[in-house]
């Protein structure tokens, strides 16, 4: 039999039935896997679990939110022999899972996963630390990792909005940076810095035109939005047009980016919805091709070149 490890974050999302884990386990075993379920106990636990797994594991399923998936990918990147990874989205926003073609029926999602296709996927790196789909710094970006868990569990996505509304005070922060893309250096002042490898961010679909997850490129969006009035207007644009056509924003596709802040930023980066603390002014972004993911067949033609 094949060996499968399911890393289960019971705190992800809301409204999960008490016997869900039993139903998921039964289905995985019906597909010919010898299954072990490991429950996460703290932040970063999923990463350490994957790092220490034996080499004979045929599939690792990250059952949780985008942050859990990030931790599983991070642990896998630290291995000399990489394992095959899959995501079963159980979180609140599930940007990655929705992009792959999952919905909110966990049993159907697992069936899509187990009948899926193995793809070699671009993994973005910030100073050699991996992220799956989003790295950002800027005003309100902290909402994704600072929203209290009780709000997310009780209200789902609305919990982020409730917490975010409390942040709507004061002036927008601006960051002075020099940035180098494909050997060409520019400078500017920006309120938002987004590096992504996804067609969906923060619950907004088709945010970028024709995103491919294996084209050796990621998307860069630098926004010079100076006021909250302009911010609200641009949020409307994000809902109605792709990011390459939004005023006050610069858009690039590349496989290499270096950002240097004029002073040490007080803010953390947000990586896949989780906080990345740092004490640096320089950040290098690149791509690793070492990861293979089992993904549903549903959106493969749209998301992959090969």
Q: pLDDT 10s per residue in the chain (306 long)? A: 899 999 999 887 655 667 889 999 999 999 999 999 999 999 999 999 999 999 999 999 999 989 899 999 999 999 999 999 999 999 877 889 999 999 889 999 999 999 999 999 999 999 999 999 999 998 766 656 555 555 445 545 544 444 455 555 656 789 999 999 999 999 999 999 999 999 888 777 777 778 999 999 999 999 998 876 777 777 777 667 777 778 788 999 999 999 999 999 988 998 988 889 899 999 999 999 999 999 999 999 999 998
List the CATH number of the domain containing 143.
2.60.200.40
Please check whether residues 102 and 137 belong to one and the same domain.
no
**Strand duo 175-181 + 184-190: pairing:** antiparallel
Please check whether residues 238 and 262 belong to one and the same domain.
yes
Please check whether residues 53 and 114 belong to one and the same domain.
yes
Please check whether residues 23 and 100 belong to one and the same domain.
yes
Question: To which residue do tokens 């922060």 refer?
Answer: 173
**pTM for this structure?**
0.86
Instruction: Judge residue 25's burial from the number of C-beta atoms within 10 Å of its C-beta, 0-12 exposed, 13-18 middle, 19 or more buried.
Output: middle
Please check whether residues 33 and 109 belong to one and the same domain.
yes
Please check whether residues 76 and 184 belong to one and the same domain.
no
**Strand duo 2-8 + 184-190: pairing:** unpaired
Please check whether residues 240 and 253 belong to one and the same domain.
yes
- How many separate domains does the chain show? 2
Its domain, for residue 148, covers 130-288
What angle separates helix 20-30 from helix 106-114, to the nearest 10 degrees?
A: 20
């Amino acid at each position: 039999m094949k060996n499968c490890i399911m890393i289960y974050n019971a705190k992800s999302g809301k409204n999960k039935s008490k016997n869900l884990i039993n139903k998921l386990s039964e289905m995985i075993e019906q597909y010919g896997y010898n299954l072990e379920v490991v429950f996460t106990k703290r932040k970063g636990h999923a990463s350490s679990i994957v790092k220490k797994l034996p080499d004979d594991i045929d599939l690792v399923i990250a059952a949780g939110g985008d942050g859990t998936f990030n931790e599983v990918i991070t642990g896998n990147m630290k291995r000399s022999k990489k394992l095959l990874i899959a995501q079963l989205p159980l979180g609140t926003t599930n940007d990655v899972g929705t992009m792959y073609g999952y919905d909110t029926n966990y049993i159907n999602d697992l069936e899509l996963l187990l009948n899926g296709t193995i793809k070699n996927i671009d993994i973005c790196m910030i100073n050699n630390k991996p992220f799956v789909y989003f790295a950002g710094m800027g005003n309100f970006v902290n909402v994704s990792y600072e929203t209290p868990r009780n709000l997310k569990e009780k209200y789902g996505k609305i919990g982020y909005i409730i917490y975010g509304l409390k942040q709507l005070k004061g002036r927008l922060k601006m960051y002075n940076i020099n940035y180098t893309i494909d050997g060409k250096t520019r400078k500017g002042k920006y309120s938002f810095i987004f590096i992504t490898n996804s067609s969906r961010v923060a619950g907004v679909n088709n945010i970028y035109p024709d995103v491919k997850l294996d084209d050796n490129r990621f998307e860069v969006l630098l926004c010079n939005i100076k006021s909250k009035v302009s911010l609200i207007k641009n949020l409307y644009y994000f809902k109605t047009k792709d990011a390459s056509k939004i005023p006050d924003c610069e858009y690039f596709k590349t496989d290499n980016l270096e950002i240097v802040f004029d002073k040490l930023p007080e803010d953390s980066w947000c990586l896949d919805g989780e906080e990345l603390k740092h004490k640096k002014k320089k950040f290098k972004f690149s791509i690793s091709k070492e990861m293979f993911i089992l993904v549903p067949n549903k959106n493969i033609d749209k998301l992959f070149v090969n």
